[in-house]
Amino acid sequence: QGGNNAGHTVVVDGKEYDFHLFPSGIINPKAISFIVLILSDRNYVQTVKEMSVSSSESWSFSLKDWEKRLIISDRAHIVFDFHQAVDGLQEVQRQAQEGKNIGTTKKGIGPTYSSKAARTGLRICDLLSDFDEFSSRFKNLAQQYKSMFPTLEIDIDGQLKKLKGYAEKIRPMVRDGVYFMYEALHGSPKKILVEGANAALLDIDFGTYPFVTSSNCTVGGVCTGLGVPPQHVGDVYGVVKAYTTRVGIGAFPTEQINEIGDLLQSRGHEWGVTTGRKRRCGWLDLVILKYAHMINGFTALALTKLDILDVLDEIKIGVAYKLGGKRIPYFP
């Protein structure tokens, strides 16, 4: 998954779980879960707290022995508190300069991927090896952000103390990610399910840029994120609602800003799991569904929430786009 910006609601045996960082497979006591790309220091610890408390707490849940089923890649980048703070500051800046923001979840994902691309990011392997070297690089990265955002306050020593504590908690879970996947693919036969976060139209390269996330959430992310060769990718399952939704800003041709949209939103319980924002709702857009299929090559589709449309006398579907008065066969 590309970070804790996405939310996955999973219902098993009548129990509802909201996941942001952990793979959904953590519920299954027979499954090994593997986190690869982005690990938020703050969110990881919050998740650990939620994992460990009694299930009588309405806001949380309890999973037995989850630590034995979780593996973290040594190559996972770390989201720091200042990445999250900068995410918020950048949104304020965009609003002031352009009159609109991107509508990020303010979880620090964009700034962390910026650090990754600038080759100043820090990974789990850095945290677990030479802590003095890690501390030096952490201070340099913090200073870079302070120079870009003069109002940014960072408790460097406090953060490093916390991170040193986290390092010992997660050390038993960390493995060489590429070798772990190689063994999984070439050892005794296993069922391997790769879970993507965010939708195809939020992909950094193929989504409705700039209103996208920072990672590859198309099927290509399996190869680039896990180090899995393309020939190992088998079935590709597309998950699509019977209507279209979007959280935050961005193009949405079939959006219904009327009683239909309100009905889909209320009947479908369309709230962003991470932000709590109302999802924008509209008719199913087959143009973007075909586009997602062009990129991902679905071998099967899971069509969800069909029952939400039960009360409607008429159901509409977007079938084509026009550009300059002419019907076009592609997604512009």
Residues with active-site annotation: 116
User: Looking at the DSSP assignment, which residues form a beta bridge with residue 34?
Assistant: 71
Task: Give a three-class secondary structure readout of the chain.
Answer: CCCCCCCEEEEECCEEEEECCCCHHHHCCCCCEEECCEEEHHHHHHHHHHHHCCCCCCCCCCCCCHHHHEEEECCCEEECHHHHHHHHHHHHHHHHHHCCCCCCCCCCHHHHHHHHHCCCCCEHHHHHCCHHHHHHHHHHHHHHHHHHCCCCCCCHHHHHHHHHHHHHHHHHHEECHHHHHHHHHHCCCCCCCCCCCCCHHHCCCCCCCCCCCCCCCCCHHHHHHHCCCHHHCCCCEEEEECEEEECCCCCCCCECCCHHHHHHHHHCCCECCCCCCECEEEEEEHHHHHHHHHHHCCCEEEEECHHHHHHCCCCCEECCEEECCEEECCCC
Residue 293 structure tokens: 């299929």
